[in-house]
Chain A
Amino acid sequence: MKKQITISVNGEKHTLEVEPRELLVHVIREKLRLTGTHIGCDTTSCGACTVLLNGKSIKSCTVLAIQADGKEVSTVEGLATAEGLHPLQEGFKENHGLHCGFCTPGMLMRAVELLEHNDNPTEEEIRWGIAGNLCRCTGYNNIVKAIQYASAKMRGEETPSTEPEFV
C-alpha cells in the first residue's frame, strides 16, 4: 500500500515511497538521514521533533509523511546559510541556551516561527511561545535570553549582553 510522495526538505526535492502510516519524523530521520530532528515522547508533548511545514512549526511525530506531500519542510539542518549561523543558533550558543542539545533543534525551529509572528516578543510571550517544547536541562532562562538576543539581532539592533547575571 505504499504511496509516492514528493517533499521538499530544506529546499531539496525528494521523491519517496512511503506507507501512509509513516510519521514525518521517521521519514526525515531515517529515510532522509537528517537526524537533527529528535523524538522525545509518544504523546505530542515534548516538541523535540518540531520542524516547519510550509513555514509553520509543527510536531513531526504527529504528522504523517504523506500529509507533507507537495509541501516544504524545513529542519534544523537547513537553518544556517552560507553566510553563517542563523541569529537564533548564534543566540543559543552565545547565551548558553543548551546543555545536552537534545531539545535544541526543536526549540530553534519553534523559535523561528515565533519571531516571524512577533519580532520583539516579551519574556512572557517567549515563554508561552515555547510552551510546546520541553527542556529538561536548561531551566529555560537562557533559552529566553537566546531568543531575545536573536530577535534584537534580526531587528538590526544591538544584542543584549551575554554575560551571565550571576551576582
Chain B
Amino acid sequence: MGHSLKRKEDARFIQGKGHYVDDIQLPGMLHMDIVRSPYAYAKIKSINAEEALKIPGVIAVVTGKDLEKYNLHWMPTLMSDTQMVLPTDTVMYQAQEVAAVIATDRYAARDGKEAVMVEYEPMKPVIDPYKSLDPDAPVLRTDKEGKKDNHIWHWEVGDKEATEKLFNEAEVVVKEQMHIPRIHVSSIETCGCVADYDKINNHLTMYMTTQAPHAIRTVIALVAGHVGLTEEKVRVVSPDIGGGFGGKVPVYPGYVIAIAVSFLVGKPVKWVEDRSENLQADSFARDYHITAEMAGTKDGKILGTRFKILADHGYTDAAANPSKFPTGMFSIGTGSYDYQTTFMEADAVYTNKPPGGVAYRCSFRVTEAVHAIERITDRFALEIGKDPAQLRMENFIKKEDFPWKSPTGWEYDSGDYHAGLKKAMEVVGYDELRKEQAEKRKRGELMGIGISTFTEIVGAGPSKDFDILGIKMFDSAEIRVHPTGKAIARFGTKSQGQGHETTYAQIIAEELGIPAEHIQVEEGDTDTAPYGLGTYASRSTPTAGAAAAVAARKLRDKARKIAAYLLEVSEDDLEWEPGKFFVKGAPEKSKTIQEIVFAAYTNHPQGMEAGFEATHYYDPPNLTFPSGAYICVVDVDKDTGEIKVRRFVAIDDCGNIINPMIVQGQVHGGLTQGIAPAMYEELVYDEDGNILNGTFMDYLVPTAVESPSWETGHTVTPSPHHPIGAKGVGESPTVGAPPAIANAIVDALAPYGITHLDIPITPYKVWKALREKGAN
C-alpha cells in the first residue's frame, strides 16, 4: 500500500501487444457497416438494397423489418425505456442506425453502405428541450401507448416549502441559469464487437468493448432468450479496452445487430464503428439545463440552495443510472457546505437527439451537481464581495462533524475540507496571486483565480438502494492461490486503463503477503470471472477492491488455521506479519504464506477443506465520499478572448492510497477531461437536428498543447467503512475541474460585471460577453 509499483499491464501495451476488439480476426469473419439517417426525424418510405447487393462481397442488407420477424427490433435501455435496434418506420435522430450491410470485408461493407438507397419523408424535429413540452410540440414517442407529451419523468428531493420560505426571507439570493453541455466521452478506441455464434453448439461468444461484461450477458439473455440465447449459452469477453469513461456501459444497436446476423448466418460478424459514428450516435453525457439558486446572509453564511433541472435525454432515456436514481447522484449537489435547506427537482424530456446520459467519468450526474453548487457558491461570494476561498472556509462541514447527514439523505463518511483547501492555497500561493490580480486589474489586464471544493459520491453501491435493471450493485473477487504460492485473482469489474492488474494485485499482496508480481489479475470474461457490475462511476476500488481485501482476509483466516496446525500451537498464539505467521514470543517459529499454501494442498488438517481459494461478493455498507480542492489561474486576452490556463493545482482526498502513481495518473487524466468541457467540447446541433461537429476536426478533444501542466497533491482522510480505507478517485478531477476553470474565467471578467458564462467557455464566448459589456 502506498507504493508506486510500476504497472504490470504496460509490458504488452508498449510493445503493441495489447489485444483490443478490432484486433480480433476469426476465420470466416464477416464485416458489418451501418447505414445511418441524414435526418433527425423522418418517416422511412423505402429501403432499396438492390445496388448494394450487386457489389462483390456484400452478402446481406439487414433492416428493422428483418429484425421484427424475430422481435429483435426494439431493446430495453438501462433505464427501462425502449430503444430501436433498427427502425421499421421512423428515425428519431440524425445518424440513427437505419440498415446494416454485411460483407466479406470492410471495404465491401463500406461500398455497400454507400449504395443502399433510403427514401425518407422528413418531419419537423423537436430539438430545443424547452420547447419539447409545448402543447403544440409533436409527440415523439408514438410507439408508447397513450403517450401524450414528451415528458419522461419528474424527480424531486428536499423540502420545497422550507426552501421557498428561506428564499423569500433571505438577505441575499443569487441565481444563475446554466447549461452543462452535451458532451461525449470520446475514448480513443471507439466501440465495437465480434459476435461469434456457433450454430452447432448453440453458443454465442461476444467479444465487445464493454465496461460491464456480466451485466451485458444478462441483458443479451433478456433480449434474445426467446430465440434460444439463454444466459448459459452466452459468453461475453471484454478484451483490452481503449478507454471507456462510461461510454462503454450501454448496449448499442450495433452490438445487437451483429449478434442477430451472426445468429442467422452462423458466422462471426465484426462491427467497429468509425469515430464520426461514435460521436454522432453513441451515448452522450450531461446535457442538463439547471437553474441554480443560493440563499445566504450578507456576511457570507450559506443557508440554502435550490436547483431546477431540465434534462434532455434525446429520443429515449438510455441514461446509465441506478434504477432508483433517475438523476443519478445529483442530490450530492448541496456540496461541501454546512446547511440543511435545499430543494431540487428535475424533469426529463424527449427530443430528436441521440439517446444517452451516460455517467461520463462521473458517478451518475455528480459533475452536473458539482458544477451547479460550485458556480453558485462563487456567484454568492461575488455578490457579497467576499473572497471565495474565505467564504468556503467559513461554510465547510467541519472535520469533527462527520459522518454528516446531508439534507438530501446522504451520510458523508469522512472528510477534511479545510485541510484540502488550505493545502491547495499554499501550493498555488493564493494570497500572492490575489495581490497580483489586484495590480493587474488596475492596469486593465484580465487575470482570474477560480476555486472548486467539491464532494464526490462514489462506489455504488449498497444493495438496499442500488441496482441496475434490478441487479444489485455489489462487486466481486475470487482469489485462487496455487500450491507454489502464486495466485490468480478474478474480478467482476473491467479495467479500461485504470490499472486494475496492478492495484488489485497490490491489495491482495498487502493482505496476504504474496508479492504483487506473483498475482495475476484477470477480468472481463464472463465464463471465468465472478459476477459483478463492472467498472464505472469510480466504483472498482470501493467495491471490487474491497472484495479483494475481504476475500484475502478469508484466506488469511484459513492460513492461520493451517499455520497453527503446522506449528502445533493454538491459533491464538499466532501473530501475522505480511508474508508469514509466527508464534508469539518465538518469531523463529514461523510459517511463510507460501509454506502454508503448499500445505493447503499437500498436508492440510483433517476435516479442513483442501485448497486455497476464496470468493467474496462485497456489498458496501455506504458509499464513499472523496473530496478535492482545486484552484485554477487564468489570463484572458481582452482583445481576442483567448484564455490561458496558467496554473492548475488539484489537491485530492481519496482516502488511503493503494498506488500513488496510479492515483496521480487518474487525476491528470481526469483534469484534462475536465478542461475539455470547460473550454473546448460540446456536441452542437442546429435547429433541424443536424450535428455541427460530429468529427474530431470540430469536436475539440484537447491535445498536449491545450492541456496544462497539472500540479497535483493529496490529503488523506480514510473512509471509515471501507476495508482498506480507500474511497475511489477516477472521476474526482473530471467533476471538480470544470467549475474551477469556469470560476477562474468568470473571476477574470468580473470587473466588467460578468457573473456567469456557460461552459465550454471559448475565446469567442468571452469576447462576445466582453463586447456586450463594452469592454473591447
Contacts and interface: CB of A to CB of B under 8 A. Distances in A.
B663 A166 contact: yes
Interface residues of A, number: 64
Contacts of A128: 704-705
A24 interface: no
Interface string B659-694: 011111111111111000000000000000000000
B664 A166 contact: yes
B241 A100 contact: yes
A98 B669 contact: no
A142 B665 contact: yes
Nearest to A34: B16
Nearest to A33: B25
Contacts of B276: 42-43
B713 A102 contact: no
A136 B15 contact: no
Interface string A86-109: 000100111010111111110010
Interface stretch (A62-70, A74-82, A151-159): A74-82
B246 to A, nearest CB: 12
B487 to A, nearest CB: 23
A55 interface: no
Given A42-B275, A99-B665, A102-B20, 5 more contacts: A45-B696, A46-B188, A98-B13, A136-B186, A139-B673
Nearest to B662: A96
A100 B242 contact: yes
Contact of A75 (B16, B703, B714): B16
Contact of B14 (A30, A93, A136, A167): A93
A112 interface: no
Contacts of B662: 96
A141 interface: yes
B697 A43 contact: yes
A39 interface: yes
A144 B668 CA distance: 12
A141 B243 contact: no
B189 interface: yes
Nearest to B502: A96
A38 B709 CA distance: 27
A45 B705 CA distance: 14
Contacts of A167: 423, 427, 712-714
Given A38-B242, A41-B696, A98-B10, A165 B712 contact: yes
B627 to A, nearest CB: 16
A101 B9 contact: yes
Which of A30, A126, A144, A166 has most B Cβ within 10 Å? A166
A26 B9 contact: no
A93 B14 CA distance: 8
A93 B6 contact: yes
Contacts of B667: 139
B664 A41 contact: no
Nearest to A167: B713
A77 B712 CA distance: 34
B189 A102 contact: yes
B695 to A, nearest CB: 5
A165 to B, nearest CB: 7
A100 B495 CA distance: 8
The 9 A-B pairs of least Cβ separation, nearest first, read A36-B16, A101-B13, A102-B242, A100-B497, A139-B668, A99-B497, A45-B696, A167-B713, A76-B16
7 contacts: A29-B22, A30-B25, A43-B695, A85-B15, A101-B10, A123-B709, A136-B187
Contacts of A48: 188
A84 B326 CA distance: 52
B570 to A, nearest CB: 44
A136 B734 CA distance: 12
A138 B668 contact: yes
Contacts of A133: 703-704
Contact of B188 (A34, A100, A130): A100
Contacts of B185: 136
A42 B19 CA distance: 21
B275 A40 contact: yes
B611 interface: no
B364 to A, nearest CB: 20
B243 A76 contact: no
B442 interface: no
A92 B14 contact: yes
Contacts of B274: 42
Interface in A1-46: 19, 21-22, 26, 29-30, 33-43, 45-46
A123 B20 CA distance: 31
A163 interface: yes
Which of A43, A89, A103, A139 has most B Cβ within 10 Å? A139
Nearest to B675: A139
Contact of A46 (B6, B423, B696): B696
B77 interface: no
A71 B705 CA distance: 32
